[in-house]
Chain A
Amino acid sequence: MMVKTIFSGFGGQGVLMMGYTLAHGAMSAGYHVTFLPAYGAEVRGGTANCTVAVSDDEIASPIASKPDNIVVLNTPSLYTFQNRVAPEGALFLNSSIIAVEPSRHDVRIFKIPSSEIAEKLGNPRTANTVMMGAFLKTTGLVPPDIFLSSMETVMGSKKKSVIEINHKAFAAGYKFLK
């Protein structure tokens, strides 16, 4: 098994956080894993993306030329990455922000209004965690309990209330997709 996922969105939406937490969770679940961020002159409000590879065998290249999944939180990311998804792959999009329709018809498309869900929960900044709930419900890449404990490790020094709201956000995303 080898699953590569690209996470993409505006800088500040928590795109790297999503990828890092997934990578940490996959490592805790016993998989080989690589996390590759796009780096450079990145700024808040600019674009950010990262690639996570999860495999039960050693991972050769951390780059995904044909990712199995893409998770996009804004419209420019959809345009950039939708053509790369492998046929039969999955495309997760933040439908609160992305108003356009994807041009791909050979992939599974999951629309999650993650910003709206996060706002209703009381903290719009948890839209990324909502997305992760939906993502893991569908892909089953990492068991939810392992992911959540990785999330706590990654957040580490953050306030307890922040961790609590993220737990709620994850559950909401997880429940959103049937």
Chain B
Amino acid sequence: MNKVLMQGNKIIAEAAIRAGCLFYAGYPITPQNEIPEYMSERLRQVKGGVFVQSESEIAAIHMVIGASAAGARSMTSSSSPGISLKQEGISSLAACELPAVIVNMMRGGPGLGNICPAQGDYFQATRGGGHGDYRVIVLGPDSAQELADLTMDAFELADRYRTPVMILADGMMGQMMEPVVFKKPKPRDYPESFIMKGAGAGKSKIIRGLILDPLEMEEHNWRLHRKYELIAQKETRHELYKADDAEIIIVAYGTGARIAEGAIKRLREAGLRAGLFRPISLWPFPTNELRDLAKKVENFLVFEMSTGQMVEDVRLAIQGRARIGFHGRPGGVVPTPIELANVIGRLYDRKEGIIDRIV
């Protein structure tokens, strides 16, 4: 296997191509511009590949809807403000049960914010984002290798459940270079019957999100819900780091988890037993796995590059079984491991305080 040194954005694009992505549409925005740049070059070399720099983010996501209905593995990417614009289309993808991969390289917000790495789009990503009763599978990579692996997995999950999948990373993941090995993706297994390519003599195929009969729409909602329940049962992913003997567990994802690992290394050198719980699937959130950990650990600290969003999922998981602290740096600030280590050190052997205090 060949190890190559590549930038995060380009890794996603290359992994998508290798996974058989044939259609990409997008509109430029920092810090993810290398994705469309790379796709424009590579899709040209792939048989049947189509690249469109669309007139807007809204146009891009709707082109993805069309390409997906036509049977192509399809992708779009953007950064926070652009992802907000795409929500109407993501809701439609969910309603029409069409597979697609959406990449969000988060930046500081709200509004146009800035172009620095941030994690303020957690709510938007994990709660559906657009209107209506739906969920999006959300994966949060924390290394170059995971950017490649999770992008390939995203296409597979999207096909298997016929639902949009989001890669939720940030500007630092997108810009950083690290060595990566591209694994061989599994061949695509997507039934012909879902593809809009003419019904022939058979029954006509209809893909629609507009269902005017409320009872029919209700049944559609419950059917989607059952699918999401199944995903929640089968597709949660997480990783533990030095958690076996930990007195305090840091819960962090993506870039935040990288910083937390640095802090944990420092604390371990000083003799403090800190560990990490890193959700990889942000929706479905690894609720049960985190709850199990709360049986033996009393102190948790949630660290996010936001004012506190994932902390709500942590509270729901732990349900008052342990103390939960929070440290956040929103707006595009990437703190150092030293800063986080100081915060953890302060909370390390907290014995008092309200269990599950509202931060």
Contact = CB atoms under 8 A, between A and B. Distances in A.
A33 interface: yes
B265 A63 contact: no
B337 to A, nearest CB: 5
A175 B301 CA distance: 51
A36 interface: yes
Nearest to B340: A61
Most chain B Cβ neighbours within 10 Å, of A41, A61, A65: A61
B336 A65 contact: yes
A36 B172 contact: yes
A60 interface: yes
Given A60-B337, A63-B334, A65-B337, A36 B261 contact: no
Interface stretch (B56-64, B176-184, B192-200, B322-330): B176-184
Contacts of B290: none
B261 A62 contact: no
B30 A34 contact: no
Interface residues of A, number: 19
The bracket for how many chain B residues form the interface is 20 to 34
Contacts, number: 60
Interface string A7-43: 0000000000000100110010000111111011100
Contact of A61 (B30, B116, B178, B336): B336
A61 B177 contact: no
Interface in B1-27: 3, 5
B6 to A, nearest CB: 10
B176 A36 contact: yes
Interface of B: 3, 5, 30-31, 115-116, 171-172, 175-179, 258-265, 334, 336-338
Contacts of A33: 5, 178-179
Contacts of B337: 60-61, 65
Contacts of B263: 60
Interface in A47-80: 60-63, 65-66
Interface of A: 20, 23-24, 27, 32-37, 39-41, 60-63, 65-66
Nearest to A57: B265
A149 to B, nearest CB: 14
A32 B3 CA distance: 11
Contacts of B264: 60
Contact of B259 (A20, A24, A27, A61): A61
Given A27-B5, A60-B337, A65-B338, A35 B177 contact: yes
A40 B338 CA distance: 25
Contacts of B261: 60-61
A39 B30 contact: yes
B47 to A, nearest CB: 25
Contacts of A62: 172, 176, 178, 258
B175 A39 contact: yes
Contacts of A37: 175
Nearest to B171: A39
B1 to A, nearest CB: 14
6 contacts: A20-B5, A34-B176, A39-B30, A39-B171, A60-B264, A65-B336
